[in-house]
Amino acid sequence: MAAHPSYDSRGLVNLVSEIETRLGGTAPAPRLSGDLAGAIPDAPTIVLVMFDGLGIAQLRHSGASQLNGSLAGTLEAGFPTTTSTSLATIASGLSPGQHGVVAHLTWMPEHNRVVNTLKWVDLAGNVVDHEYAALLPRPNLWERLRTVGVEPITVQPGDFAATPLTRALYRGARFEGIWGIEDLVDATIQLAASPARFIFTYVPHVDVAGHVFGLESDEFTEAMGIVTRVWDELTRRLPPGAVLVGTADHGLVDYGEDKKLLIREPRFDQLRFAGDPRGVHLWCSDDDANALADLTGGMLVEPSRLFGPDPTPVSMQRSGDRILLAPEGVALLPRGFDKRLRAYHGGLDPREVEIPLLVG
């Protein structure tokens, strides 16, 4: 288990910085290290495809052989290794401690509630009415690109349009809704035909299948086939003047029922829990924190060590007094965390952290 992911040369934030610097001249974070940067050709239009859940570990699947032919290196997702945090890193070009989306389930002091940052509901399922478009710092990546004459476009499932998450992440970007795999490929290819664009295409299938059915399921194999087909089509049909880059937001790890540790001891019932099943945010006394570490076999870590350089006061308010990192092979599930899933992520296991750099 690493002390923290890379934020200075091999991280997801550095990939975003590399792209922004090529298109716009500058970026707020360091660029990729030379070996990784050298794998990406220059072009006036860049397409970045985000395959949700497609960690390096998933490329060992039998259905991933064609994807491995485009593997140019290994990147590292920021902490926590979870979708809303990684998408916020892309949308802002900042590390988690600077953009402030520090968990899937995030404590929001202004609402006095723990908020699901994908669905924007609290732990009871109540809608959290937030000024969504103000969630990320200004200017975000899309706004910075617009000021230098680059059009930012995101290609997403059409039913994501106008959701709280879309309003939070894509302020300043053109939203292109699609309604199927063929539509996704066609839209991305057609949009890439114009110069001076950054196109961000999101593909959710691997993550959904892994969470719901597990990594050994037929459904997961089908999902791997879909993402392979998407990448193959985009690679073959990409117009001149555009370069194709692919990556993921995190990897996935299966957890059987015997590896899910439900935290239900009465002593902890009044504590506030947030975060992710592989990295739980705690607000509690030293005695309670140590008792939780003893109960779970987890490791207590200061939040400021995990989220990248110069975390903001807002990020630290949202991240708790300590973070309890789950031991390898265990998912920690306090009340309010979803115990129904087959695969989880959010921690610092290499299978969660390591994500691919694909170049078409």
Q: Has residue 276 been placed in a domain? A: no
Inside any domain, residue 218: yes
What is the mean pLDDT of each successive set of 10 residues along the chain, which is 360 residues long? 85 98 97 97 98 98 92 98 98 98 98 97 96 97 98 97 97 97 98 98 98 98 97 97 98 97 95 97 97 97 94 96 96 96 97 98
CATH number of the CATH domain containing 250: 3.40.720.10
The count of domains in the chain is 1
In the block, tokens 């990556």 appear at 247
Evaluate whether residue 195 is within a structural domain: yes
Per-residue pLDDT of 187-215, as tens digits, reads 999 999 999 999 999 999 999 999 999 99
Q: What is the domain extent for residue 236?
A: 12-101+138-254+348-359
> 358 near 71, Cβ under 8 Å?
yes
pLDDT for position 3: 72
The pLDDT tens digits for 134-145 are: 999 999 999 999
Q: Is 258 helix (H, G, I), strand (E, B) or coil?
A: helix
Which residue shows structure tokens 């207590």? 300
Q: Is residue 90 part of a domain?
A: yes
pLDDT at 15: 98
Give domain status of residue 146, yes or no.
yes
What pLDDT, on the 0 to 100 scale, is given for residue 66? 87
- What's this model's pTM, rounded to 2 decimal places? 0.97
User: Which pLDDT belongs to residue 2?
Assistant: 59
Kindly report the number of other CB atoms within 10 A of residue 145's CB atom: 23
CA distance 310 to 248: 24
For 230, phi then psi, to 5°, come to -60, -50
pLDDT at 4: 82
Q: Is residue 115 part of a domain?
A: no
- Does residue 286 sit within a domain? no
Residue 29 covered by a domain: yes
Is there a contact between 141 and 150 (Cβ–Cβ < 8 Å)? no
Instruction: Please provide the DSSP assignment of 82-147 as one string.
Output: SHHHHHHHHHHSS-HHHH----SEEEETTTTEEEETTTTEETTS-B----GGGSSPSS-HHHHHHH
Phi/psi at 93 (nearest 5 deg)? Answer: 70, 20
